[in-house]
Every structure is written in structure tokens, then in C-alpha cells.
DNA sequence: GTGAGTCAGTCTTGTTACCAGACTGTCTAT
DNA sequence: ATAGACAGTCTGGTAACAAGACTGACTCAC
């Protein structure tokens, strides 16, 4: 996807954006989440070029984020849907949406996410340990076991140790 | 950033990925979060081309996600740092990291995020109303007040109403 | 049974963006 | 005086993007 091979970088963000580091992929995941699964529906909804749509779907499928299933055989027609791995992106989608709502949407949110069980809107990052909601200031970064110094993470390890406040 | 103008699309995800719809931008935000703020540090850490780094920094600055401050005057030297808007991306960064940890990291997480107050690792999306942790299956989508049918959202509104389970 | 339309693509042809590396200019250290 | 750090700009080749034409299998209306 990117010219530079980010999949090899010892950073989960780099690996994630190596697969999902373009705008269309996120919008495709959005549409699949909502329930649009057919090629033409995606194309019409997004206004995306067929070539690009084909490429993106192939890439997402290759990374096991979506799967293609035949829903009729003559003529062969396929539908795209999210895999478990793809559905696991939904919380990210929620936060991307909320960030856009907060900082980029003058007209109010075009779409909202709601907790199914209690029906109330508003989802946010929280600490799994104590349950408290968490904002940027509450988050501490630490180097993990898989960290390595290399391309894409040449200086990070030092910086993490240095600012390990 | 993208050829097709996603900023005009009535969808917060589209507006967000219009600004942050490429891999480098996220990695730059990552590095700024960690504390790397100088041009050369970013370039060395990421292994990114100077031209691209210049472009990305300009774009992020233009969208008020980062700011450039002079930390010495002769020779003029600047440092990049996150604005409030940029720091608000941190929860997204956390989830991107966790998704990568879970699905793309055979060697274990290279970096981890911890709740500063209680010291325990593990951050996840939770319902602000009832405090329960939330996964993809618990999330319900609803059309919001700012929704419109147009390029980038041609079919979404119908789909949202249709599957409004 | 012919023509219009749908669906899911592939192919072709510009245009644009990406990337590497060379170059510039100011300052600091030796 | 020379080397090196820093923060860029400039240049040229390659790769990705985008628009639209084309394919091909089918359905439905008439």
C-alpha cells in the first residue's frame, strides 16, 4: 500500500496504517459496517473509481479484514463483509467519527453511535482496570516487549525511555 | 490530500480521513505524542523523505493539528507539537495500536498505553452512560442531524434507516 | 428476441503524488 | 578551516490514482 514497507516496522500503529493508511479503506470499512456490501453499492455511495475500489477490496481481503462470499451463482455475484478482524476496527471508527464530530463538523454529527444495551449515546475510551474515562492527558506510554530500534522506530525507544515520566 | 475532496462529504469519518488519510500523518502524530518534535528527529525516526515530511507537517499545521514554535532564533529552529485538536487524536492512536497488537504483532506489543492514575494497562472503548466496555456488537448506528445524501454518502442514509435495528 | 438495464469487474490513458538524493544556507564545534 | 547538525527546497524517475471506455453474464419489459 505504501511505497515504504511499514508492515516490517516494529510498531503496531505502523502495521495498522500500513493496511489502513488510506482514506478509501476506512470509508469502505464504514460502509461494510453499515451494511453496504456490494461492489456497485460501494462504488455509488463513495463515488470511487472502480479500479481503486477493486484494489482496496483486494487489499483488505488479503489482510483478512473483509471476506467475499457468493450470494448467487448465475451470474456469479459476491458480497463483501467484515471478518472478526474487520469488525474489531469498529471502536476505531467510533473514535474517528467522534473526533470528526468534535473538530470538523459545523452542522452537527451526520451519524451517531449508541450503546445497544443501555440506549444512551456517547462512547469514549476508558481504563479497563478502574473504569474511569480517559483523555489524552491520562495516558502514559511505555515501551513494550516487541519494541525494536529500526526503520520507522529509529529514535522512539530512546524517547520513550527518556520521557518515561 | 486525497484527489477526491472528502472534506466536503457529510460524514465525520470522511472528514477525519481527509486530513489523516495517509500513513505518515499518523506516524508523525505518534512521534509528536511521544515527544519527538524536531524535523530531523522525525525524519530519522521514520525514514521518511524530507519532501513528504515537509508536506505532511504543513498539512497537519494547516488543519490545526500541530503547531510550529521557534525554540531558538539564530539560526531559526522550530519544534513541532500537538495542539489540543491533535492531542484529541490520542485515544484513536491507542485503539490503532491495540488493533495492531491484537491482529498484526506476532512478537508482542512494541509499545503500550497505561492509565496514568491507576497504573494498570488496558484501555478500551466504553459507554459513557453506563460505563460498560463496548465491543463491535454492542454498537448501534443511527443517522444524525448533520447527515446529508451526496457524494461520499450517496446510499448511507437509506442503509442506516434500513438496518436501524 | 431485441434492447435497456444491472452488476462486477478489467483495460487504457492521462495526471498527480511519492520518494530518493542532490543542493542550499545558517550556525556550532574543533 | 573544515566538518557536522539542522531545516529545509529542488529535481527527476517511478508508482499510484482517477475517469471513462469496454467486457460479459444475466434479467426484465415489451
Q: Mapped to the 3 state alphabet, what secondary structure does B56-73 carry?
A: HHHHHHHCCCEEEEEEEC
- Whether A148 and B110 lie within 8 Å, measured CB to CB: yes
Residue A164: predicted pLDDT: 43
* Nucleotide with the nearest C1' to B72 CA: C27
The helix-helix angle for B12-20 and A23-34 (nearest 10°) equals 160
| B125/B74: higher pLDDT | B125
For the CA of B65 and the C1' of C16, the distance in angstroms is: 25
Give the one of B34, B117, B146 whose C-beta lies nearest to A163's C-beta. B34
Nearest C-alpha neighbor of A9 from the set B52, B90, B19, B27:
B27
Mind listing the pLDDT tens digit for each residue in A13-27?
999 999 998 899 999
CA diameter of chain B: 63
Grid cell digits, residue A19: 493496511
Mind listing the pLDDT tens digit for each residue in A47-100?
899 999 999 999 999 999 999 998 887 778 889 999 999 999 999 999 999 999
> Residue with CA nearest C27 C1'?
B75
The rounded distance, in Å, linking the Cα atoms of B103 and A17 is 13
Grid cell digits, residue B3: 484527489
Give the one of A88, A104, A107 whose C-beta lies nearest to B99's C-beta. A88
Per-residue confidence at B89, pLDDT binned at 50, 70, 90? Answer: very high
CA-based nearest distance B73→chain A, Å:
25
Alpha-helical runs (H) found in chain A: 12-20, 23-34, 39-46, 50-62, 84-87, 90-104, 156-162
* Nucleotide with the nearest C1' to B40 CA: D6
- Whether B99 and A12 lie within 8 Å, measured CB to CB: yes
The rounded distance, in Å, linking the Cα atoms of B146 and A146 is 42
Q: Strand B77-82 vs strand B139-143: parallel, antiparallel, or unpaired?
A: unpaired
Contacts of A136 in chain B (CB under 8 A): 87-88, 90-91
Contacts of B38 in chain A (CB under 8 A): none
Contacts of A152 in chain B (CB under 8 A): 27, 45-47
| A32/A146: higher pLDDT | A32
Mean pLDDT of all residues belonging to chain A: 87
Amino acid at each position: 500500500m505504501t511505497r515504504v514497507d511499514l508492515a516490517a516496522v516494529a510498531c503496531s500503529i505502523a502495521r495498522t496504517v500500513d493496511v489502513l493508511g488510506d482514506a478509501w479503506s476506512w470509508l469502505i470499512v464504514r460502509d461494510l459496517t453499515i451494511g453496504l456490501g456490494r461492489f456497485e453499492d460501494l462504488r455509488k455511495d463513495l463515488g470511487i473509481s472502480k479500479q481503486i475500489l477493486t484494489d482496496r477490496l483486494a487489499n483488505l481481503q488479503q489482510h483478512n479484514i473483509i471476506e467475499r462470499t457468493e450470494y448467487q451463482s448465475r451470474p456469479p455475484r459476491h458480497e463483501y463483509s467484515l471478518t472478526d478482524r474487520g469488525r474489531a476496527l469498529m471502536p476505531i471508527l467510533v473514535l474517528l467519527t467522534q473526533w470528526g464530530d468534535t473538530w470538523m463538523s459545523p452542522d452537527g454529527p451526520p451519524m451517531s453511535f449508541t450503546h445497544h444495551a443501555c440506549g444512551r449515546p456517547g462512547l469514549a475510551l476508558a481504563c479497563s482496570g478502574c473504569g474511569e474515562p480517559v483523555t489524552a492527558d491520562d495516558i502514559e506510554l511505555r515501551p513494550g516487549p516487541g519494541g525494536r530500534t529500526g526503520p520507522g522506530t529509529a529514535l522512539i525507544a530512546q524517547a520513550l525511555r527518556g520521557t518515561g515520566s
